[in-house]
Amino acid sequence: MTEGIRRLPSLNGLRVFEVVTRHLNFRLAAEELGVTQGAVAQQIRGLEAELGMKLFDRFPRTLALTETGRSYVTNIRRAFELISEATETLKPEPLHLTISVTPTFASKWLIPRLTDFTAIHPNIDLRILASDRIANFQTDAVDLAVRYGRPPFGAGLNAELLFDDVIVAVGSPLLVEKLGLPVQNDNFTRYPLLHDAHDFWPQLLELAFPNGPPTAAKNIRFNQTSLAIEAAIAGQGLALTSTFFVEDDIASGRLLRVLPTELMIDKDFYVVSPRKPRHPASVTAVRAWLSKAANR
pLDDT digits (tens, 9 = 90+) for 143-184: 999 999 998 888 889 999 999 999 999 999 999 999 999 988
DSSP characters over 202-231: HHHHHHH-TT-PPPPS-EEE-SSHHHHHHH
CATH homologous superfamily of 96-165+267-294: Periplasmic binding protein-like II (3.40.190.10)
pLDDT score for 84: 82
Task: Please say if the pLDDT value at position 5 is more than 70.
Answer: no
pLDDT score for 167: 97
Question: How many residues comprise the chain?
Answer: 296
**180: exposed, middle or buried (C-beta count within 10 Å: 0-12, 13-18, 19+)?**
middle
Q: Is 169 helix (H, G, I), strand (E, B) or coil?
A: strand
CB hemisphere CA count around 274 (13 angstroms): 17
Task: Please say if the pLDDT value at position 108 is more than 70.
Answer: yes
| Average pLDDT of span 101-121 | 94
pLDDT band at 94 (very low <50, low <70, confident <90, very high): low
Report d(CA 12, CA 283) in Å as an integer: 31
Strand residue runs (E) in the chain: 56-58, 63-65, 96-101, 125-130, 144-149, 157-163, 166-171, 193-195, 219-221, 238-242, 256-257, 263-264, 268-274
Rg (CA), the chain: 26
Report d(CA 242, CA 225) in Å as an integer: 9
pLDDT score for 91: 66
pLDDT digits (tens, 9 = 90+) for 42-80: 999 999 999 999 999 999 888 999 999 999 999 999 998
Q: Which CATH class is domain 166-264?
A: alpha beta
| Average pLDDT of span 86-93 | 70
pLDDT digits (tens, 9 = 90+) for 279-290: 888 899 999 999
pLDDT band at 1 (very low <50, low <70, confident <90, very high): very low
Torsion angle defined by CA atoms of residues 78, 79, 81 and 87, in that order, rounded to the nearest 10 degrees: 160
pTM: 0.68
Report d(CA 263, CA 78) in Å as an integer: 44
CATH topology identical between 96-165+267-294 and 166-264: yes
What is the topology classification, in CATH, of domain 11-90?
Arc Repressor Mutant, subunit A (1.10.10)
Report d(CA 201, CA 219) in Å as an integer: 10
| Average pLDDT of span 191-202 | 95
pLDDT digits (tens, 9 = 90+) for 199-254: 999 999 999 998 888 888 899 999 999 999 999 999 999 999 999 999 999 999 99
Residues 6+ apart with CB under 8 A from 48: 54, 55, 56
pLDDT score for 93: 57
Domain ranges of the chain: 11-90, 96-165+267-294, 166-264
**124-128, long-range: CB within 8 Å, 24+ apart, which pairs?**
124/95, 124/96, 124/97, 124/282, 124/285, 124/286, 125/95, 125/96, 125/97, 126/96, 126/97, 126/99, 126/286, 127/96, 127/97, 127/98, 127/99, 128/98, 128/99, 128/101
Q: Tell which wins on pLDDT, 221 or 5.
A: 221
**30: exposed, middle or buried (C-beta count within 10 Å: 0-12, 13-18, 19+)?**
buried
